[in-house]
Amino acid sequence: MLISNARPWAGEPSDILIENGKIASITAHDPNRSLEDADVDGRGRILIPSFSDVHVHLDSTRIGLPFREHTGRPGVWGMMSNDRENWRDAEIGLTERVAGTLERMIARGTTRVRSFAQVDVDTKLEKYEAVIAAKEKFANEAEVQVMVFPQAGILLEPGTEKYLEDALKAGADVMGGIDPCELDRDPVRHLDVVFGLAEKYQVEVDIHLHEHGTQGVFSADLIAERTRALGMQGKVNLSHAYELGSVNEATTRRLIDTFAELDISLTSVAPSTSNHLPLVQLTEAGVRFGLGEDGQRDYWSPYGNCDLLDRTWQLAFVNGFRKDELIEHALAVATIGGASIMSHEVPRLASVADRPGVAVGDCADLVLVDGETIASTVMDRGTDRTVIHDGRVVADGLKVLSVQESY
């Protein structure tokens, strides 16, 4: 496939040849080349790696359904209970709305996804199976990892552990955990189950950490100890962890150094808090960092629209980024940053100036977007997009193409 007149990372106009799912060559754009010789007319648009949404709850989505009054109650348990009370009564079935949400994400440029699938005594494997069905439906358009997630904790309701193991037996990619101290109130037993099942089924670990202050740091330290003791470097991720920077500078520095040493990655949904660990310091230390949209207009919140470029703007905004280099770094996090968490064959970002993903030899998972510069693209978030996955155009103009239409 030949892409004519595109600007990799907003650089010079180029012609990009793709062969066998990888970028084979990048040459200066030939204005005399006939458009009939090109498969994709870049029209001077910017070429970037496709987006990687590495923290999304496809299983609780209400994307495409009418807005409803928010009825959630404070705290993880209150919000989770509200979801339990309502998710079965949506206007269309779960499998259909999960698939529709994933389709909308792909259309906007996301071709790498790590989705949570709630498993507990209420949902059993119903939500997990709906996410798996969407993964299989769009197997040619996106890479999807599914994380078995104990949203209601592991120890609070007898039988939860069995359902978690059933999902892992069925092929879940990642083992989840949540707030070992705050929710289950027994961090040792909670982490025994999380890491025990991860070891048994040889999967990675991804733990939601909403805990504040020293409690959050205590849980993070326990997770780091397990990672070191079990030799799971590079196989553990902390989601949210938005209060780990709230104690003091020495603790912040120690945590960053520990995460870098053990290759513990972090994923954020760009919340409105100033207590998160500083993104620039994390990157400079070599900590993998990814971005996600969290819930998608669900029973937890009305936010989320399947567009990770919107969430990239939010990541830059909540971090107070104004310099072009830092806004561009936010986009690098939203693309290759997340990709490096899903696969360690993708190198982590080396610095805030690193712009990988569109060089010769890179996988052809790409998005053409309109814009003058990367910073303007993040600010304006235009809709003139062409999405490429594994060397094929899979979406154009915010519409996912059928297998017959893709090229």
Q: Locate tokens 């969407």: which residue?
A: 134
- Would strands 14-19 and 236-240 be described as parallel, antiparallel, or unpaired? unpaired
Q: How far apart are CA 181 and CA 196, in angstroms?
A: 18
Which tokens go with 182? 């705050």
Beta-bridged to residue 245, according to DSSP, are none
45: Cβ–Cβ under 8 A, 6 or more apart, which residues?
Answer: 6, 7, 368, 369, 370, 371, 384, 386
Say what the pTM is.
0.96
pLDDT of residue 76: 86
pLDDT of residue 33: 81
CA-atom Rg of the chain in angstroms: 21
**Grouped pLDDT means (10 residues each) for the chain, 407 residues:** 97 97 97 85 97 97 93 88 92 96 98 97 97 98 98 96 98 98 97 98 98 97 98 98 96 98 98 92 98 94 95 97 98 98 96 98 98 98 97 96 74
Half-sphere exposure of 376 (CA within 13 A, CB side): 8
Taking residue 168's Cβ as centre, other Cβ atoms within 10 Å add up to: 20
Q: How far apart are CA 184 and CA 207, in angstroms?
A: 13
Q: How far apart are CA 35 and CA 50, in angstroms?
A: 24
Question: Could you tell me if 364 and 88 are in contact, meaning their C-beta atoms sit under 8 angstroms apart?
Answer: no
pLDDT of residue 404: 63
3-state per-residue secondary structure call for the chain: CEEEEEEECCCCCEEEEEECCEEEEEEECCCCCCHHHCCEECCCCEEEECEEEEEECHHHCCCCCCCCCCCCCCHHHHHHHHHHHHHHHCCCCHHHHHHHHHHHHHHCCEEEEEEEEECCCCCCCHHHHHHHHHHHHCCCCCEEEEEEECCCCCCCCCCHHHHHHHHHHCCCCEEEEECCCCCCCCHHHHHHHHHHHHHHHCCEEEEEECCCHHHHHHHHHHHHHHHHHCCCCCCEEEEECCCCCCCCHHHHHHHHHHHHHHCCEEEECCCCCCCCCCHHHHHHHCCCEEECCECCCCCCCCCCCCCHHHHHHHHHHHCCCCCHHHHHHHHHHHHHHHHHHHCCCCCCCCCCCCCCCCCCCCECCEEEECCCCHHHHHHHCCCCCEEEECCEEEEECCEECCCCCCC
pLDDT of residue 355: 98
Sign of CA dihedral 259, 261, 262, 264: positive
pLDDT of residue 111: 98
Beta-bridged to residue 388, according to DSSP, are 366, 393
Q: How far apart are the first and last CA of the chain?
A: 8
